[in-house]
Structure 1
Amino acid sequence: MIKYALTCDHEHAFEGWFGSSADYDDQHARGLLECPVCASKAVRKQIMAPAVAGTRKTVQDERAGPPQAMMMEALSRIRRHVEENFDDVGDAFAKEARAIHEGRSEERGIYGQATPKEVRELLEDGVPVAPLPPEPPKKTQVN
């Protein structure tokens, strides 16, 4: 696994894990990379120093498990919690999030779909929004 420090055209910094450098290049070329903050598809690698792996494992390393598996499990739990406890407002997400923020609608957790433009406008207006973690890939889709 390779961890890249990534950034979008709005300078949101985040990390991405890839099976190989070629996997990053392929996903980038197909437009599959997206900023988790604003959903921008204009994503690029940040300059980073290479990580040098040691030869000895610590006890903590052995107990923790693979970082990607732990991250995918945590993201799956977050998504499951949102789907079970929040209202799905579908493509009316931007309208409903703004109404809740302005006090015109009942305060509650919601999720749904919004365009990158709608997300940018909500963020610019101070409406707190965050992307829902993606569904975990099926075992047959993992390389």
Structure 2
Amino acid sequence: MIVFDLICRAGGHEFEGWFGSSDDFEHQQAAGLVDCPVCGSSSVYKAVMAPNVGIKSNQRTSSRPASSKQAEHLHPAEGGQAMTKAVPIPPEYQELVDKLAKAQAKILEQSQWVGGDFPEQARAIHYGEKKAAPIHGTATVDEVAELEDEGIDVMPLPLPVTPPKAQN
């Protein structure tokens, strides 16, 4: 996953968006799926960003270990890179993100990871071919649109999820 700082052209609102890749952002933006959370405008563009590049591992001293917060945001299994504009996050926002992450983790404990089979599994549950159960996985924008056209309720997760097999 990659996080972009985004700016709303209509109101100048700044916010973050998580995407699978830069191409994923471009496709979602072209389809009008990227909206400003403040005013709802779909006229959104990426802010200029600099990569968060740490010092080389052979130059790290024992007095300056890698931050566990930095490590949490890297998803090497998915080819992601941590990005930042080096703007400090206000403590109240960090507290909200932490609470959201805990709530999502609790919800996912009760849900089964189905990976890329999500659209097929969701259909099987919807049409009664499989016992109803909470599931989560991945789906393309087109697959989500098809599910919604069929009347199947789906919801994106607010924070990225590392597939179970990619976790340590």
Task: Give the structure-2-normalised TM-score.
Answer: 0.45
- Match of 1:119, SS state, is helix
Query: Paired residue for 1:61?
Result: none
Amino acid at match of 2:28: S
Distance 2:121 2:24 in 1: 27
Deviation at 1:132, TM superposition (A): 1.5
The equivalent position to 2:28 in structure 1, one of 32, 37, 40, is 40
Match of 2:145 in 1: 120
Q: Which runs of 4+ in 1 moved over 4 A?
A: 2-6
Instruction: State the shift of 1:32 in Å.
Output: 7.7
**Which runs of 5 or more residues in structure 2 are unaligned?**
44-89, 162-168
Letter matched to residue 22 of structure 2: G
**How far apart are residue 111 of structure 1 and its match?**
0.2
Indicate the percent of aligned positions where both proteins have the same amino acid: 28
Q: 1:31 touches 1:41 (CA, 8 Å); kept in 2? A: no
Q: Summarize deviations over 1:73-115 as a string: whole Å, max 9, x none.
A: 2331232023311011111000000110111111010001111
Give the structure 2 partner of residue 90 of structure 1. Answer: 115
Whole-angstrom CA distance in 1 between matches of 2:134 and 2:35: 32
The 5 A counterparts of 1:1-143 are: 17-18=15-16, 31=22, 40-42=28-30, 43=34, 46=41, 66-135=91-160
**Quick one: structure 1 residues 33 and 114, their matched pair in 2 at CA, closer, same or farther if it must change by over 3 Å?**
closer
**Structure 1: gaps of 5 or more residues:** 7-14, 19-23, 48-64, 137-143
> Does structure 2 retain, via aligned residues, the 8 Å contact 1:32–1:41?
no
SS at 2:114 equivalent: strand
- Count of matched residue pairs: 98
- Tell me if the contact between 1:5 and 1:16 (Cα under 8 Å) persists in the aligned partners: yes
Q: For each residue in 1:16-47, what CA deviation from the matched residue of structure 2 results, as whole angstroms up to 9, or x when unmatched? A: 625xxxxx9xx99x83885xxxx934336528
Partner residue, 2:56: none
Distance 1:66 1:76 in 2: 15
